[in-house]
């Protein structure tokens, strides 16, 4: 698991880095273990310096892998809350991507089965 963490307009403390790595452990369970090309590019930071109200922290993840790339962004009032939202969104994207792949595979198998039925008559 290769991780690149970038801090924008904030200082990346060891607590933030360890929190990100801890959250990515659950994401890493879903990803293919044999794929060594997996790269997590994470950017954590403030959206602007002059905000006083509203969502000011963002967390972005760009997951590069052999099967395709995934990208999600999350905004929150706290850095750790933004990281939590980012993890939830990437988990959702990974599971939906997996479901889409399985559905396409089943459809293809069904079409082949239908074709073979027609050939045997």
DSSP letter assigned to residue 69? -
The CATH number covering residue 45 comes to: 3.30.160.100
Contact 26, 3 (CB under 8 A): no
Q: Which domain holds residue 29?
A: 2-120
- Give tens-digit pLDDT for 15-70: 999 999 999 999 988 888 788 889 999 999 998 777 667 668 999 999 999 888 99
Contact 70, 89 (CB under 8 A): no
Our count of domains for the chain comes to: 1
pTM for the structure as a whole: 0.80
Q: Is 9 left (phi over 0), alpha (psi -120 to 50) or beta?
A: left
Contact 81, 46 (CB under 8 A): no
Contact 64, 73 (CB under 8 A): no
């Amino acid at each position: 698991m290769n991780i690149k963490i970038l801090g924008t307009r904030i200082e990346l403390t060891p607590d933030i880095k360890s929190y990100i790595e801890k959250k990515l452990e659950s994401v890493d369970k879903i990803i293919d273990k044999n794929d060594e090309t997996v790269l997590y590019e994470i950017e954590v930071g403030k959206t602007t310096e002059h905000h006083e109200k509203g969502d000011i922290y963002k967390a972005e993840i760009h997951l590069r892998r052999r099967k395709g790339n995934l990208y999600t962004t999350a905004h929150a009032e706290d850095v750790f809350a933004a990281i939590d939202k980012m993890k939830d969104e990437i988990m959702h994207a990974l599971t939906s991507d997996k479901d889409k792949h399985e559905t396409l595979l089943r459809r293809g198998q069904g079409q082949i089965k239908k074709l073979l039925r027609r050939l045997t008559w």
